[in-house]
Amino acid sequence: MFTRIFMASAILAVLQFVPAFAQVKGDNPVATEFPYQYYPANLPQADYAKYFPASWTTYASNAGRNADFQLTKDAPRILREGVKWEFAGAGAIPLDGPPLDNSIITTAYGVGMPVGASVVGGIAYIGSDNGYTYALNAITGKLIWAHYGWNMNMSNPLVVDGRVFVSTGSAYFNYANTMAYVQGRRPTRGPGLNSLYALNARTGKELWVYHFAGEAMPTAAYEHGSLYIGTGDGHVYKLNALTGKPVWISDIVSFVSMSSPVLGGRYLFVGGTHPNFFYALNKKTGKVAWRMTLPKLVATGMGDCTPAYSDGIVVQQATVQTGDRGKPVANVLLALDAATGKILWQKEFSQGPIPPAMKTATPMIAGGKVFEGSPVTGNYYAFDLKTGRELWKVHLGAQIRAGAVLDHGILYVPYKSGDIAAIESSDGRLITNRHIGGAFGPSSPVIVGGTLYVSNIYGWLLAMPLPEILSGGKAATGRSASR
């Protein structure tokens, strides 16, 4: 049952002073010691799988970050009405209980599924900070395979042409790099094994792995046979998706925290920290086309937020100091001309306390509107994409780090209190709050037909019928971490 798949041999590549290793195929004499699991009997039936998305090439499936998938009229009734199941990853804690050591951060970094699922071909793929990537039957919730990656998995798995791509890393600095950061020198974030894995989508077996000097917590982006990712070593990489070999490595100096790149036109857009800049890189060459920043940025500045792109505009959120001791920070939403980096409009949200850990939320673009939350105040907003005009605001009352999903005019927004808000997208009317339990971090939800898939930082992936969410009340049980 348990098989270990690990690196058989490695080739050292030194490019722009970054050590990196790429796995080649072969057998390893210690392969039997490691916790790889595969249950082929749990694979989805082909007549169900064909109604799901066929690929997943970027964070939240598309550049606008709205992971909503409608079904054709001939889809099975169960998919149209929605399925219900709960999956507890290794170490998950009850949704109605306290966090580990009474700390949300300890819980998230220990057992959380912070970023969200990718749902392709009847399979839900999810990464966990316990080190595992899980593949589950999207109809039943049963485990198909589990792959162990030797570090936190905060990525949204990509699925293309029968392969799954997942990246791993940690949010920490070792002592030497902590001192470098404090002293204003260039640090590398992410001790341990920082990797981008290519796995067989059906079995979870490793095809290749590429190791980075710094953390690889963001989700990569796939296009035309290439993978793009920024890491904690201050570089952005373009890798051949078939072999894992680098095409180019660009030294931007800034380390990338949780900013998953978005592709638009000729460019790749990503946020970086220390120094705090938002970058556009030429996809073909890796050269920086433009970069921009704001004054008084807080902590990870531009490096936490995953940008969204639509119609020649790239949208990014940052957090700035206000100078007010009682309310020291505020989130700022930026809309930039993708070709030049010129600020088309910017909105500073209400001021408030400094959020722990991640201080920005993921913007989502749909129907010519930008939808965005605030981890500082718990407000959720809608803006006109072209003009920046505020269309509405609703106060949810707890930190919002996740993106949203828009389906039939209703926004579904998970947030820290363990609730999912259903909001009328036209006017901001709060339809209901569905209490799930636990807490939600930056996990962007997915809708396929009548089912919403969402993960949380207590270590659970949940599938819920949309009518159940809209009915209000408590949706999930999550009373036991066994399965």
Predicted local distance difference test score (pLDDT) of residue 33: 54
- Report which of 4, 254, 36, 304 is spatially closest to residue 154, judged by C-alpha positions: 304
pLDDT reading at 253 higher than 50: yes
* This model's pTM is above 0.75: yes
Find the mean pLDDT for residues 405-412: 98
Q: What six digits make up the tokens of 358?
A: 């991640």
Dist. CA 246–CA 240, nearest whole Å: 6
Q: What six digits make up the tokens of 337?
A: 């001309």
DSSP strands (E only) in 161-242: 163-167, 194-200, 206-212, 221-223, 226-230, 235-240
Q: Radius of gyration of the chain from Cα atoms? A: 21
- Report which of 54, 73, 37, 45 is spatially closest to residue 140, judged by C-alpha positions: 45
Cβ atoms of residues 148 and 34 within 8 Å: yes
DSSP 8-class letter at 78: H
> Which residues, in sequence order, are CB contacts of 408 under 8 Å at separation 6+?
none
Q: Each residue of 102-130: pLDDT tens digit? A: 999 999 999 999 999 999 999 999 999 99
pLDDT reading at 10 higher than 90: no
Q: Each residue of 305-327: pLDDT tens digit? A: 999 999 999 999 999 999 999 99
Q: Which residues of 301-317 are buried (b: 16+ CB within 10 A; e: fewer)?
A: bbbbbbbbbbeebbbbb
Q: Each residue of 134-189: pLDDT tens digit? A: 999 999 999 999 999 999 999 999 999 999 999 999 999 999 999 998 898 999 99
Q: Which residues of 39-55 are buried (b: 16+ CB within 10 A; e: fewer)?
A: eeebbbeeebbebbbee
Find the mean pLDDT for residues 220-239: 98
Choice between 11 and 358, residue whose per-residue pLDDT is larger:
358
DSSP strands (E only) in 252-307: 262-264, 267-272, 277-282, 288-292
- Report which of 147, 196, 193 is spatially closest to residue 170, judged by C-alpha positions: 193
pLDDT reading at 380 higher than 90: yes
SS3 of residue 109 by DSSP: helix
pLDDT reading at 90 higher than 60: yes
Using pLDDT thresholds of 50, 70 and 90, give the confidence band for residue 358. confident
Find the mean pLDDT for residues 359-372: 97
Using pLDDT thresholds of 50, 70 and 90, give the confidence band for residue 55. very high
Predicted local distance difference test score (pLDDT) of residue 301: 78
Choice between 482 and 395, residue whose per-residue pLDDT is larger:
395
Dist. CA 372–CA 374, nearest whole Å: 7
- Tell whether the torsion through CA atoms of 42, 48, 54 and 59 is positive or negative: negative
pLDDT reading at 205 higher than 50: yes
Using pLDDT thresholds of 50, 70 and 90, give the confidence band for residue 20. very low
| DSSP string over 95-106 | TTSPPGGG-HHH
Find the mean pLDDT for residues 5-18: 28
Using pLDDT thresholds of 50, 70 and 90, give the confidence band for residue 35. low
pLDDT reading at 473 higher than 70: no
CATH class for domain 9-474?
Answer: mainly beta
**pLDDT more than 90, % of the chain:** 87
Per-domain residue ranges of the chain:
9-474
- Tell whether the torsion through CA atoms of 157, 97, 92 and 469 is positive or negative: negative
Predicted local distance difference test score (pLDDT) of residue 478: 59
Cross-strand partners of 127: 133
Find the mean pLDDT for residues 5-20: 29
